[in-house]
Amino acid sequence: MKIKILSTSDVHGYWYPTNYSKPDDTRPLGLLKAASIINRIRQNSAADDLVITIENGDFIQGSPLTYYAAKIDPQAQAMYMQLTNKIGYDVGILGNHEFNYGIDYLQNCEQNRHYPILAANIQTNSSVIDAPYKIIEHQGLKIAIVGFTTQYIPHWEDPRHIQGWQFDSVVQTAKTLIPQLRKQADIIIVAYHGGFERDLKTNQPTEELTGENEGSQLLQEVPGIDALVTGHQHRSIATKVNGIPVTQPGYQGRYVGEITLELDADNHIIKQNAQLHEVAAAKLDADLQALSSNLEQQVQNWLDQVQGQINGDMIIADPMKARLHNHPYLDFINKVQMAATKTDIAGTALFNNDVPGFGHKVSLRNILTSYPFANTLAVEVITGAEMKAALEQAASYFVVENGQVQVAADFLQPKVQHYNYDIYSGIDYEFDLQQPVGQRVVKLQYHGQDVLPQQELEVTLNCYRAAGNGNYSMFSSDKIIREVQIDMTELISDYFQKHPVVQAVQPTNFTVKY
């Protein structure tokens, strides 16, 4: 007999093979493709095999489709969950982005799911969570599926969205729970919306050990786990760690993870395997396509609504050049942030290398694909020394190799982190990349004057950065003096309502020497 553990993770609302950058865009991704692979594996499995399917979190936020369902059309939210149920997941896990639209929206989504939401390390009175684990019985065998969610959510999320929720360490929870479950179940599967903090071969740390990702420690310190499904880091992983099969099936429905446990007649595991099924060549699931095609067309039509115009060019043709020399699009985003918060210093990031920027006519499609996160804004009072420290952290994004500027390895491995390189408006500054990391800021001025170490500055940041995330420890929630609790998509759209025509200007406040 075989137990096949299938998983998707970090789908972020990408059902169709598109990133929505244009109506006819086609990409090697999407849950409709993943669903056809899941169904094929089910159909090709032997009669006595058990196929378990896990939705591993970050499912209801992250695409124009999910924004439309959350903000525009309540009927779309109901359809979204109807589609979800058609896939036939056995269990679901909460990801950190499940909370972005607030607890009421999350609760509405979860109450319409036909499968339980598992979370063993979350304490709450909310009905969102059904149980810490689920036990499935199959041919006399008991299989426990335990759900965990990254404990780091309070560092990112709006406190109002998680009021009354407590997120505990996955490892500490597992140390108590797994031994108890071993007395009840023959097989234990862990589904964890979190990733690995150490290299899977050398066991060396690959990030600051904050507790955000506990996968490596979990496998080292908690015996009794037979299979581990991970997520959160958007990595593509199928391997064995300490003899335990693990998967992490990418993001946006690009892969279906599969762990296979083969058992003998005495229900002992005699063979293990982990693999990823790439969805690129798969066809769309016909039933899901028939059910969702009208909704997808509604979203496409909505995305093409024009919000404003640009005189000039805000298209991102070269992401590296934009990060090295600043860019009219980034300056525009900072201006939107400053207008919303009434400051004259703001920082933003070019979140990934697929951000298109804005052409002459700016549609909702352009806004949502260029600014894909549901960030709100915060204003912090920081010192000049802290401002310089933030710039030094940003400057560590670059490395010079053979006279060419490249992205430093820490921002590419194990997870791509372009979103942790910030560019500021409202200050004049310069990096010298020939200097050591931590000593690269050679100019920092505000209103034409050198910024003094103890000088106080009001700076606008998105909520993620304002909490100190991305190794920006100089920022913290206790320095926030005011907030704007409207997400950036709406703020950008509102800005165009007030300024229907925006002039593209190449900023000159930032230079890099190398």
pLDDT of residue 22: 86
Residue with tokens 């909505």: 302
DSSP-assigned states of every residue in 278-314: E-TTPPPPHHHHHHHHHHHHHHHHHHT-EEEEEES-E
pLDDT (0 to 100) of residue 118: 99
Sketch the domain layout of the chain as residue ranges: 2-299, 305-513
Q: Which residue's entry shows tokens 């290398």?
A: 353
- 416, two tokens: 């791509």
Each residue of 260-274: pLDDT tens digit?
Answer: 999 999 999 999 999
Band the pLDDT of 277: cuts 50, 70, 90.
very high
DSSP structure string for 156-210: TS-GGGGTT-EE--HHHHHHHHHHHHHTT-SEEEEEEE---SB-TTT--BSS--S
Q: What is the pLDDT confidence band of residue 5, given thresholds at 50, 70 and 90? A: very high
Instruction: Give the per-residue pLDDT at 485.
Output: 85
Nearest to 334 by CA among 352, 343, 349, 347: 347
Residue 465: name the closest of 453, 445, 444, 480 by CA.
480
pLDDT digits (tens, 9 = 90+) for 175-199: 999 999 999 999 999 999 999 999 9
Question: Across residues 356-368, what is the average pLDDT?
Answer: 96
Q: Which amino acid is at 217?
A: Q
pLDDT at position 210 over 90 = yes
CA angle 334, 62, 479 (to 5 degrees): 45
Side chain identity at 104, as an amino acid letter? D
With a cut of 90, say whether residue 353 has pLDDT above it.
yes
Residues 481-496: what's their mean pLDDT? 93
Q: For the domain with range 305-513, which CATH number is right: 3.40.50.1220, 3.90.550.10, 3.40.50.1370, 3.90.780.10?
A: 3.90.780.10
**Averaged over 204-229, what is the pLDDT?**
97
Beta-bridge partner residues of 135: 144
Cα–Cα distances in Å, from 299 out to 67, 295, 304, 449? Answer: 10, 6, 9, 48
For residue 369, what pLDDT is reported?
93
Rounded to an integer, what distance in angstroms lies between the CA atom of residue 334 and that of residue 495? 12
Share above pLDDT 90 across residues of the chain, in percent, rounded to a whole number = 94
How big is the CA angle at 375 (ends 85 and 345), to the nearest 5 degrees? 170
Span 440-454, pLDDT tens digits:
999 999 999 999 999
pLDDT attached to residue 21: 86
Beta carbons of 283 and 60 less than 8 angstroms apart: no
Q: Which of 404, 411, 309 is nearest to 351 (CA)?
A: 411
Regarding the domain with residue range 2-299, which homologous superfamily does it belong to in the CATH classification?
Answer: Metallo-dependent phosphatases (3.60.21.10)
Average pLDDT of the chain is: 96
Res 374: pLDDT: 84
Q: Check if the beta carbon of residue 55 is closer than 8 Å to that of residue 89.
A: yes
Predicted confidence band of residue 24 (pLDDT cuts 50, 70, 90): confident
At 42-72, the pLDDT tens digits run: 999 999 999 999 999 999 999 999 999 999 9
Task: Band the pLDDT of 147: cuts 50, 70, 90.
Answer: very high
Is the fold of 2-299 the same as that of 305-513?
A: no
Q: What is the CA radius of gyration of the chain?
A: 24
* pLDDT recorded at residue 25: 87
| Pair of tokens at residue 233 | 């880091």
CB-side exposure of 129: number of CA atoms within 13 Å? 23
Give the SS3 label for residue 129. Answer: coil
> Does residue 156 have a pLDDT over 90?
no
**Is it the case that residue 473 has pLDDT exceeding 90?**
yes
d(CA 65, CA 292): 11
pLDDT of residue 40: 98
Q: Tens digit of pLDDT for each residue in 386-443?
A: 999 999 999 999 999 999 999 999 999 999 999 999 999 999 999 999 999 999 999 9
Query: What does the alpha-carbon distance between residue 157 and residue 154 come to, in Å, rounded to a whole number?
Result: 5
